[in-house]
Amino acid sequence: MEDRNQPFAIYSRKSKFTGKGESIGNQIELCRQYILTHYGESFADSAMIFEDEGFSGGNLERPQFQQMMKEAKRKNISAIVCYRLDRISRNIGDFANLIGELNHLEISFISIKEQFDTSSPMGRAMMYIASVFSQLERETIAERIRDNMHELSKSGRWLGGNTPTGYQSERVTSVTIDGKQKKAYKLKRIPEEAKLVKRIYEKFLETGSLTQTETYLIQNGYKTKQGRLFSRFAIKGILSNPVYMLADQEAYQYLKEKKMELFADRTEFNGTHGVIAYNRTLQKQGKAHEMKDMEEWIVAIGKHEGLIPGAEWVSVQRQLERNKSKNYRKPRSNVALLSGILVCGKCNNYMRPKLSGRYNDQGEQIYSYLCSMKEKSRMKCCAIKNANGNLLDSLVIEELKKIAEDKREFIKQLEEGRKLLKEEKQDYEQDVSRLEEELLQTEKEIEGLVTSIKIAGGTAAYDYIVRQIDELHKKKEQILAQIEVCKETAIGKELTVLEFELQKETLSNFEKTVDFMDIEQKRAAIRILVKRVVWDGETVHLYLFGSREPSCDSSK
């Protein structure tokens, strides 16, 4: 280390999705203590802190890491200290390039856990060796997991998780060569649900549209396994799931075309059983599962009955691919003010603006508000009259002008709105914290059971542990779904002090300034004041923050 006058940099990273590893705070404190012990109090106190939380170690594209490297290139730091090597990177190539760059800049790199210091040649050599072995271990684990999937695919058994519509999980027992009983699971058809799955495929092939298929299912009162109305997302999940496909020759040709790894001979694709695809999704905690490329799938013949002939399933996939290529549409400008807060008084679903190609005498585009359930069900589940959008928005603005005339009451209303927004956000954040603690505990339980399974192999406890793991995985999925809902609901629930003061300044003369605001300004102003707007077909009910009863009703 050439220059002792420049401060040290402490770098810490933690992926928020793993729930494992040293916390950001602990990493920083351990690094600071190391600097204090080896280089003195002044360096410990002056250390520059760079923290990346919620970022993977798979690459170096992390904001605080990039900022630290900018400081390094400006020669503003003399050394980088981290708690462990993998806090910097899990990629050997990236790591080697980084060390080379730091050497060129004459900046030392110190890793506390491994006790490596690149200010010495031996330290640099040992760091490279440790990094190589660390990556080798990860690659070995990944290879072992894939080998296990290969073994599982030979059995064609169901591994657990959310059972697809049309099937239930059934336990089967087999006798091994040494006479021991081994329990596994397969999918068993549920006749009524299977009929529904076939109908979904038929309707989609008939219409070529997820939206029209959704409308048909809603109109006819079909529900998911969880008793909810079908969404386009749920329908697409069924249409793209290979578990329904009969393992016939058309299926074989398609799977080979997509370069999937097949664990079955062509002769086994005789149209008797369904298909099981392993390694389909990339599972990330706190995020929706991502679908992997088909080339990464491991496909086998399942033990269950297939439902959809290969040619039909393949035809559906081709149509989904065509639809995907046409998905992008240039968004039409939205002139409506009440999107997201206007709900139908009949069915409590949101109402969306529907623009026309016509304009009124004032040059405004004419639009109406349409109940989303009415649209989806083609008036089967809701037949409420559409609302005149131009008139409805103007009525809301006029009512807010009247309220704004009483300055004291208006500011009080603003304060109440801000307070309630903040309280609601805190409630949702508390729910997220509680759920994340529950998620962490569930993951620890799963981890403990996975460790136990190694010991229990071949014993009566093995199957009991497997069932427990399955149940915990289901619980984990439910918790993740709840977390996502809470996080989405919390977005935008709180205004900062500065934002509020700016809004208060703007809205204090609301009745005079509103007519000069643009669409976005009007929309933002309404959302600060109005909690919900309800249209019952004849009258609009306006609910302000802090009021349980509608603050005003306007008929039209």
Pair (365, 445) in one structural domain? no
For the chain, give the mean pLDDT: 77
Containing 129, the helix (H) or strand (E) segment is helix 121-155
Residue 149 lies in a domain: no
Q: Which long-range contacts (CB under 8 A, 24 or more apart) does 56-63 make?
A: 56/15, 56/90, 57/13, 57/15, 57/86, 57/87, 57/88, 57/89, 57/90, 57/91, 58/90, 58/91, 59/89, 59/91, 59/94, 60/89, 60/94, 60/98, 62/13
Count the domains in the chain: 4
152 falls within a domain: no
Residue 370 has pLDDT above 80, yes or no: yes
- Give a yes or no: residue 151 inside a domain: no
At residue 333, what are phi and psi to the nearest 5 degrees?
A: -65, 135
In angstroms, the CA 351 to CA 541 distance is: 14
CATH, residue 223: 3.90.1750.20
Instruction: Decide: pTM greater than 0.85.
Output: no
Range among 123-137, 219-233, 273-287 rated most confident: 219-233
- Per-residue model confidence as pLDDT tens digits over 27-65: 888 888 888 888 888 898 999 999 988 787 777 888 999
384 and 410 part of one domain: no
The C-alpha angle with vertex 194 and arms to 349 and 247, in degrees rounded to 5, equals: 125
Domain boundary among 325, 354, 380: 325
Q: What is the DSSP string of 302-352?
A: EEEEP-B-HHHHHHHHHHHHHHHHT---PPPP---S-TTTEEETTT--BEE
Residue 281 sits at φ, ψ, to 5 deg, of -120, 150
pLDDT of res. 535: 94
Domain end call among 390, 416, 447: 390
Q: Phi first, then psi: what are they for 214, rounded to 5°?
A: -60, -45
The CATH number of residue 114's host domain is: 3.40.50.1390
User: Is 158 a domain residue?
Assistant: no
**457 and 490 both lie in a single domain:** yes
Question: Are 440 and 448 spatial neighbours (Cβ–Cβ below 8 Å)?
Answer: no
Closest to 90 in 3D by CA, of 56, 52, 114: 56
Whole-number Å distance between alpha carbons of 104 and 73: 10
Banded model confidence at residue 498, pLDDT cuts 50, 70, 90: very low
Q: Write down which residue in 277, 300, 325 finishes a domain.
A: 325
pLDDT for position 285: 44
Domain-embedded: residue 56: yes
Integer Rg of the chain from CA: 30
Range of the domain at 357: 342-390
Cα-Cα-Cα-Cα dihedral sign, residues 432, 434, 440, 446: negative
Claim to verify: residue 226 and residue 354 sit in the same structural domain: no
| Same domain membership, residue 281 and residue 230 | yes
Is 138 or 380 the better-scoring residue by pLDDT?
380
H or E segment to which residue 252 belongs? helix 249-257
Nearest Cα to 46, choosing from 13, 10, 75, 21?
10
Mean per-residue pLDDT, 322-336: 61
Contact assessment for residue 493 and residue 425, using Cβ atoms and an 8 Å cutoff: yes
Q: What are phi and psi of 514, to 5 degrees?
A: -60, -35
Instruction: Say whether both 436 and 545 belong to one domain.
Output: yes
Give Cβ neighbours of residue 532 (< 8 Å, ≥ 6 apart): 341, 343, 543
**What is the SS3 assignment for 174?**
strand
Of 399, 394, 338, 320, residue with least CA distance to 533: 338
